[in-house]
Amino acid sequence: MTPSQGIDIIIPVYNAFDDLVKCIDSIKAHTDLNVHRLVLINDASPDHRIAPYLDSLADSNILVFHNQDNLGFSGNINKGIAISNRDVLLLNSDTIVTRDWLNKILICSQSDETIGTVTPLSNNATLCSVPDFCQENQLPQEFSLEEYAALVESVSLKLYPSIPVANGFCMFIKRKLIDAIGLFDAETFGRGYGEENDFCYRAEQAGYRHVMCDDTYIYHTGTSSFIGLEKQKYISEHEKVLDARYPSQMQAVRMHCRDNPNWIISENIRMHESLRNGKKNILYLLQADFREDAHDNVGGTQLHVKDLCDGLKRQANIFIVAKNLNLLNLTIYINKKEYLFQFSICDSSEFQTFRNKEFAKLYGLILDFFQIDLIHIHHTLGLSLEMFYQAKERNIPLLATLHDYYHICPTIKLLNADGKFCMGIADDQMCRNCLKKRCSIYPGIDYIQIWRRENQKALSMADQIFVPSRAAKDIVISYYPVLAQKIQILEHGSAPLSSTTSPDAPSEKHPKTAFHVAFVGGISDAKGSYCASQLVKNSPKDIRWHLFGLYGHNDLSVVERSNFIKTGKYNREELPELIRKYQIDLICILPIWPETFCYTISEAALCGIPVIGTDIGALSHRIRDMKCGWLVPYEASYTQILELINRIKDKGTEYQEMKKNAEQLQVRTVSEMCQDYHRFYQNIFREISVPILDNADRHWVLDHFFVPNEQGYLKNNTISGKLKEAERQLWEISHSPTYRMVQMIGRMKIPFKKQLKGFVFRAYKRMN
């Protein structure tokens, strides 16, 4: 697409010898000077090295000129433009160009007939500065200039967005624009600052656009020929000239600087710059996000993945893909940085889908755009099984952790329609009736077999399947024996719990004779809410009950007793304080389904409190192994449990032994768990061939990006766009002459002030 006649690269030169040499060397390395010409104009530089150096460069396509008198920046530019009869590119002598720079700028210039000027990205180019807008940026230490320029090109969306003014450090200008509006105003802006603004404003009025070439990066040192007070004087004087000539266009520039409408370019570069840190990209998929601003952010799976994320983000770049109502959140954690994307996943189907082309496309774009190295699936509720297939298609290492029994039955907990544990019961009709009642599945369909066939197929694609306990492993293998060799036990870790309460802080005042029992965490039907409610309603007054956590709409929610305290939701770090404040002696954990791990028993052990638990699943195994409490049948009545509590509430030898065991337990830590996962990940990484996304797909992904700010996140979408427009209108009103006049009237002590203010506002409304 390069014009056969080439273009003229005009470099005005004034001192800065070392910068000039670097600039020329980079041009020779990255520019075809058989096609394009280099026009070097020495503006009477006092540095005696400049003239002989320039003369040594001269040949047929490198033209060298020496001014007898200093013409100033604008005059020097005009001399170069007058020498040429081609399109021109004005280039500062303190720049360093990069690979294929000129060809990319020319491609940009030819993308639209109305384009008059093109400015590339740079570290120091005001509106075209990246990643910090309108700032002088330093080249990241971990990148060479060529590496950074290659990064910018590789992640570019090639938006070629409009900008209100070009930047003279590297400014391509079409010859037809010069023919239409003339040269730079050297008489007014001879010493520089403002000449390109003046030129660009005239070009805009003549129907031409100025664009940013967002796939090209050129380094700009920014060395000034004059500095300090002298420069400030010229800036101030020339800005007044520009305001007088082009009031609306100057305001447009200020608005552009305030709003940064091309922010996505900078943030895209910033994000990918952060990602190019030599670390692997690990993606976790789960059914609900642990972000504080997300719906349903509390649960065992969310807690586990948050621990993994916090523990491993120093070793890897962590991508969390999680459902959040009708959105799919993608949060990227890179060291201390965080980036958020949100995608709509509205699904009209009320049934769980195994395959879904919309999810397939979305997952595929995420995997390809971010070049994911490893996928670890934690839950697929509401998310289809497509991530398994997308991983296999790309040969990406794939792991899965089973936090419950969703892949065995869509009801998740292996409880039938009556809330009874149903594992191992070979009753086809029971399954059909249960699925009809709980999932609206027509009983004429052998749905459970379809479900297990599809889930086994997906799980078979995993390189490894993790479960947190041997009880969970036994149950999964009983349904999927073909997966036995893939399943590995990797126990969850627990974070240390430390109370923020002073050891001398007073505890809650309760009768000294009371025995304090707590239910901890979310108490649902499956976690024994009915039994818990019966215990509270039928216990003697010397047992005081406490509920730390949520309880939903169940039997426990309607119980009101003087010896029953509900504290509501808590953060796990607060549990030791609650235990101490309410003098808890015992924790009851009463699920009626075989939990795969049970975080609550770990938390109880960390607080040194013995437990009563039901003899089912991982809870049963862990209490036996830890010797920190008592087991009751999972179908035990409240009377059986009360009998046990009455037996131990005097805190005799039996209780003291369990209390001592609980206090001495060493619970596996999150750090230990993360180290195990990190070692496993290191052994499974492999080379992956990453497909190249087309520009439309890249743009679509970034269209869902939320830019971080001090208040949280701001996205340039429909809603925030309207807010931004409202802010813009408010700014324009508050900076208008009418507004200032009304404020001045408000401060004046004159009669009829209210009527005068109203008249001014009505006049303003008629004019606008």
* Residue 473 and residue 534 in one domain: no
Instruction: Provide the residue type at 551 as one letter.
Output: Y
Question: Is residue 679, in this structure, part of any structural domain at all?
Answer: no
Mean pLDDT calculated for residue range 5-10 = 93
Is pLDDT above 90 for 235? no
Strand order across the beta sheet in which 280-286 lies: 487-489, 464-467, 398-401, 374-377, 280-286, 316-324, 327-334, 337-344, 705-709, 712-714
Rounded distance, CA 372 to CA 111, Å?
33
Q: What is the pLDDT of residue 132?
A: 94
* Residue 86 and residue 179 in one domain: yes
Least confident window among 7-11, 114-118, 715-719: 715-719
CATH number, domain with residue 76: 3.90.550.10
Contact in structure between 102 and 183 (CB atoms under 8 Å): no
* Residue 592 and residue 739 in one domain: no
Name the band, by pLDDT with cuts 50, 70 and 90, for residue 722: very low
* Residue 656 and residue 760 in one domain: no
Is pLDDT above 80 for 231? no
Name the band, by pLDDT with cuts 50, 70 and 90, for residue 744: low
Domain endpoint, select from 667, 682, 702: 667
Name the band, by pLDDT with cuts 50, 70 and 90, for residue 151: very high
Name the band, by pLDDT with cuts 50, 70 and 90, for residue 712: low
Cis before 397 (ω within 30): no
What stretches of 402-443 show up as alpha helix (H) in DSSP? 428-439
* Residue 261 and residue 230 in one domain: yes
* Residue 587 and residue 718 in one domain: no
Mean pLDDT calculated for residue range 191-206 = 91
Is pLDDT above 50 for 3? no
Least confident window among 112-116, 547-551, 720-724: 720-724
* Residue 98 and residue 233 in one domain: yes
Least confident window among 29-33, 110-114, 325-329, 724-728: 724-728
Of the CA atoms within 13 Å of residue 717, those in its CB half-sphere come to: 15
Mean pLDDT calculated for residue range 348-377 = 91
β-pair partners for 323: 328
CA 552, distance to chain mean position in Å, is: 32
Is pLDDT above 70 for 638? yes
Is pLDDT above 90 for 354? yes
Question: Is residue 450, in this structure, part of any structural domain at all?
Answer: no
Is pLDDT above 80 for 723? no
Least confident window among 530-534, 676-680, 724-728: 724-728
* Residue 219 and residue 79 in one domain: yes
CA 315, distance to chain mean position in Å, is: 18
Is pLDDT above 80 for 426? no
Q: What is the pLDDT of residue 502?
A: 41
* Residue 162 and residue 295 in one domain: no
Question: Is residue 689, in this structure, part of any structural domain at all?
Answer: no
Name the band, by pLDDT with cuts 50, 70 and 90, for residue 758: low
Question: Is residue 704, in this structure, part of any structural domain at all?
Answer: no
Domain endpoint, select from 439, 473, 489: 489
Domain endpoint, select from 272, 289, 314: 272
What stretches of 564-669 show up as alpha helix (H) in DSSP? 575-581, 599-606, 617-626, 638-648, 653-664
| Per-residue pLDDT tens digits for 269-310 | 999 999 999 999 999 999 999 999 999 998 899 999 999 999
Cis before 410 (ω within 30): no
| Per-residue pLDDT tens digits for 490-528 | 999 998 876 544 444 444 544 557 999 999 988 889 999
Q: Which value, to the nearest 10 degrees, does the dihedral of the CA atoms of residues 675, 676, 679, 685 take?
A: -110
Question: Is residue 440, in this structure, part of any structural domain at all?
Answer: no
* Residue 229 and residue 299 in one domain: no
Is pLDDT above 90 for 216? yes
Question: Is residue 213, in this structure, part of any structural domain at all?
Answer: yes
Q: Domains in the chain: how many in total? A: 4
Q: What is the pLDDT of residue 214?
A: 97
* Residue 545 and residue 594 in one domain: yes
Q: What is the pLDDT of residue 762?
A: 59
Question: Is residue 242, in this structure, part of any structural domain at all?
Answer: yes
Q: H or E stretch including 347?
A: none
Q: How does the average pLDDT of the chain come out, rounded? A: 89
List the domain range (segments joined by +) for residue 746: 712-767
Q: What is the pLDDT of residue 755?
A: 60
| Per-residue pLDDT tens digits for 366-402 | 999 999 999 999 999 999 999 999 999 999 999 999 9
* Residue 480 and residue 556 in one domain: no
Contact in structure between 130 and 266 (CB atoms under 8 Å): yes
Question: Is residue 331, in this structure, part of any structural domain at all?
Answer: yes
CATH number, domain with residue 294: 3.40.50.2000
| Per-residue pLDDT tens digits for 20-74 | 999 999 999 999 999 999 999 999 999 999 999 999 999 999 999 999 999 988 9
Rounded distance, CA 73 to CA 125, Å?
17
The pTM of this model reads 0.85
Contact in structure between 157 and 695 (CB atoms under 8 Å): yes
Exposure letters 361-379 (e unless 16+ CB within 10 A, then b) = ebbbbbbbbbebbbbbbbb
Name the band, by pLDDT with cuts 50, 70 and 90, for residue 761: low
Tell me how far apart the terminal alpha carbons of the chain are, to the nearest angstrom: 46
- Secondary structure (3-state) at 404: coil
Q: Quote the tokens at residue 675.
A: 């180290």
Rounded distance, CA 124 to CA 128, Å?
8
Q: What is the pLDDT of residue 335?
A: 87
| Per-residue pLDDT tens digits for 453-496 | 999 999 999 999 999 999 999 999 999 999 999 999 999 999 88
**Which segment, 135-149, 220-234, 682-696, is predicted with the most confidence on average?**
135-149
Rounded distance, CA 574 to CA 589, Å?
19
Mean pLDDT calculated for residue range 440-459 = 95
Rounded distance, CA 535 to CA 343, Å?
46
Rounded distance, CA 652 to CA 643, Å?
15
